[in-house]
Amino acid sequence: MRADLEIIEEWVRPGSRVLDLGCGDGELLAHLMKQKQVSGYGLEIDHDNITLCLEKGVPVIEKNIDDGLVSIRNHSFDTVIMTQALQVMERPDQIIDEMLRIGKECIVTFPNFGHWRARGYLAFRGKMPVSKFLPYTWYNTPNIHFCTFKDFERLCVERNIYIQERTVVDHSHRDHWWIRLWPNMLGEIAIYRITR
Amino acid sequence: MSREYPQDSVGLVQPQVLHFDQPLELVCGQTLNSYTLIIETYGTLNKDGSNAVLICHALSGNHHVAGYHSDDDKKPGWWDSAVGPGKAIDTNKFFVVCLNNLGGCHGSTGPASINPETDKPYGPDFPIVTVRDWVNSQVRLADHFGIQQWAAIVGGSLGGMQALQWSIDFPERLRHCLVIASAPKLSAQNIAFNEVARQAISRDIEFHDGHYYGENTVPRTGLMLARMLGHITYLSADGMGEKFGRELRSDNISFDFTPQFEVESYLRYQGKRFSTAFDANTYLLMTKALDYYDPAAEYDNSLSSAVAQTQCKFFVASFTTDWRFSPERSREIVDALVDAGKQVSYAEIDAHHGHDAFLIPIPRYMEVFSAYMKQVEADTPAIESHDTVGGTDNAC
């Protein structure tokens, strides 16, 4: 399993009710259902991923998260998770508000645009960063709202969101001591546990 | 020599007629002292009766879901695309049961049947049956086969309503509930369409207040109009445009009222065909069952409360251009199930076929349907695979 998902697994309590926004092929939920006896759903829009979820027995609901989550009651989930999808949302701030409304706590992961490679790419080449990890060009990228860890944490301060825990890893989702020294420069993906 | 059927067809099938003598109390207050259900089954029931799938039909459907009744049949059953060896509902794995509902006109007790009290056809005196009544009659059918718990109950449209009602009324008797192109209740617009259809039938001079059986006639025109109206609402504007456009049957406009546009002659053909194959009183009954369906009504109009006691897992699917049972209505079901904390999956299929899409083997539809049925299979203890060649294994 992806290393970031292993970190998330540690943060999810056994038997809890989980909503995974942009659940992909259902890997995380399938794992959590098996290992932690969680219940819940994945929300997904990609057709192939929906089929993969169904084949795994992961409850998946076809839904565009940008359309909102109004039908879901306040605090009706123990944990709302969004891995690597925040940057494709139309309004990441609103979706975080929604996640915190329906979930008692939320886990969010996203790529760090403040990483030294992205900075260097723009600074020295004068072009929007393209990498193996972020392979799109500016005009066709689904990633429309990049931010850095600092940006995200500033949003949390402004919106009274409490960061309970943060782990910063490299693109292979590995934790290194040197990343902890200067996460916004050296970390590529952050995993946040937030509440309000 | 008998005809060759495709490998994935259940092949030649035979209906079976079952009589039930235990009185059935209906929601309307009346009682059917005895009744007949005509059914078909495909595949083999395993020893513990755990691999049974019930298919509930929609407004004009019947027990003949898959396969052929004779070598001369041009068309197979109404859902042959989804039921057969290796298909979404795999008859190599599941024992599939389908019936004609009470009030129907294909062999189960209905308005054209003889009322034992009068020795005449029931006609308009056949009691109004509801979705719940159908479910109650289907419970007897399950008992007949010794099926304690269905592996799945599957239905589209009005059939989906029956599947959902099962999950509410008999939560312990099904493991999976598949609700396709359905709704938790009809909208005013939907009831309005049904009312126009009913008026078309009951105002036909040949209707004779429903007693047309004795008059040696049938309200053909009314039924035809009802079907034509229904048919329009089952298609999407785009689908109709794509299929017919403004195509003419001949080269020139004739400036009279004969059918000139292809869509006109198509509707007339469909209407006419239906008017000779379907019973008018049954049509009235089926549309009423649709109108009355509202499982949330007994729960303070809260669908979440209505589904609170369900125990099965759910699969809900809708089609983008279906405006008679729109995706919004399916999402209401999904939202209620999520609200009640039930396990549910939902797919919204891109299709231009309107409501009819649920009967059409659209690739993505069949893909998600099959993927979900794999889960049904995984949740079925002691499934015995019967890799028989199509058509030889019909337990009827």
Average pLDDT, integer, range B301-319: 98
Shortest CB distance from B368 goes to which of A17, A39, A51? A51
Closest residue in A to B370 (Cα) is A55
At A1-43, the pLDDT tens digits run 677 788 899 999 999 999 999 999 999 999 999 999 999 999 9
Q: What is the mean pLDDT of residues A119-144?
A: 82
Q: What average pLDDT does chain A have?
A: 89
Q: How large is the average pLDDT for residues B114-131?
A: 96
Residue B396 has pLDDT above 50, yes or no: no
Chain segment B153-200, per-residue pLDDT in tens: 999 999 999 999 999 999 999 999 999 999 999 999 999 999 999 999
B375: distance to nearest CA of chain A, Å? 6
Nearest-5° Cα angle at B241, B235 to B245 = 135
> What residues in A contact B329, CB-CB < 8 Å?
none
CB–CB of B335 and A55 under 8 A?
no
Answer yes or no: do B338 and A61 touch at CB < 8 A.
yes
> Which of A47, A62, A72 has the CB atom closest to B346's CB atom?
A62
Q: Residue A114: its pLDDT value, please?
A: 76
**φ and ψ at B230, to 5 degrees?**
-55, -45
Contact A39 B343 (CB under 8 A): yes
- Structural contact between residues B166 and B174, judged by C-beta atoms closer than 8 angstroms: yes
Which pLDDT does position B389 carry in this prediction?
Answer: 42
Which among A48, A55, A74 is the top mutation candidate for probing chain B, defined by the most B β-carbons within 10 Å of its own β-carbon? A55
Strand partners, B19: B36
Residues of A with Cβ-Cβ distance to B341 under 8 angstroms: 17, 39
How many Cβ pairs within 8 Å bridge chains A and B?
Answer: 48
**0.95 surpassed by complex ipTM:** no
Which residue on chain B is closest to A17 by alpha carbon? B341
Residue A141 reports pLDDT greater than 90:
no
Provide the pLDDT for residue A138.
84
Q: How confident is the model at residue B390 (pLDDT cuts 50, 70, 90)?
A: very low
Residues with Cβ within 8 Å of residue A111, at least 6 apart in sequence: A84, A87, A133, A134, A143, A146, A188, A189
The pLDDT of residue B182? 98
Rounded to whole angstroms, the Cα distance separating A24 from A53 reads 8
In angstroms, what separates the C-alpha of B184 from chain A's closest C-alpha? 16
**More reliable by pLDDT, B253 or B296:** B296
**pLDDT of the residue at B393:** 40
Query: How far apart, in Å, are the Cα atoms of B200 and each of B87, B90, B285, B337?
Result: 39, 40, 14, 38
| pLDDT the model gives residue A167 | 87
* Percent of chain A clearing pLDDT 90 (strictly above): 59
Least confident span in A94-98, A131-135, B102-106, B339-343: A131-135
Task: State both tokens at B8.
Answer: 């994935």
The closest of B209, B199, B201 to B275, measured between CA atoms, is B201
Residue B310, pLDDT score: 98
pLDDT of residue B301: 97
> Active-site positions of B?
157, 322, 355
SS3 (DSSP) at A127: coil
| pLDDT higher than 60, residue A94 | yes
- Tell me the DSSP string of B249-267: SSSS--SSSS--BHHHHHH
A148 versus B127: the higher-pLDDT residue is B127
Q: Tell me which residue in A51, A71, A76 faces B371 most closely, judged by beta carbons.
A: A51
Q: Where are the alpha helices (DSSP H) in B210-261?
A: 220-234, 237-244
| A51: chain B residues, CB-CB within 8 Å | 367-368, 371
Tokens of B211: 């007693």
Is the predicted pLDDT of residue A53 greater than 70, yes or no? Answer: yes
Tell me the C-alpha to C-alpha distance, in Å, between residue A152 and each of A92, A148, A177, B77, B236.
Answer: 10, 6, 22, 58, 45
What span, in angstroms and rounded, lies between the C-alpha atoms of B335 and B331? 6
pLDDT at position B300 over 90: yes
| pLDDT for the residue A13 | 95
0.90 exceeded by pTM = yes
State whether A51 and B335 contact (CB < 8 Å). Answer: no
pLDDT of residue A179: 74
Of A154, A164, A190, nearest in space to A79 by CA: A164
Q: Which residues pair with B174 in a beta bridge?
A: B150
Question: In angstroms, what separates the C-alpha of B167 from chain A's closest C-alpha?
Answer: 18
Residue B394 has pLDDT above 70, yes or no: no
**Is residue B384 scored above 70 in pLDDT?**
no
| CB contacts, 8 Å: A45 with chain B | none
| Nearest CA-CA distance, residue B38 and chain A, Å | 34
Render pLDDT for B61-95 as a digit per residue (tens, 0 to 9): 999 999 999 999 999 999 999 999 999 999 999 99
**Mean predicted confidence (pLDDT) in B231-236:** 95
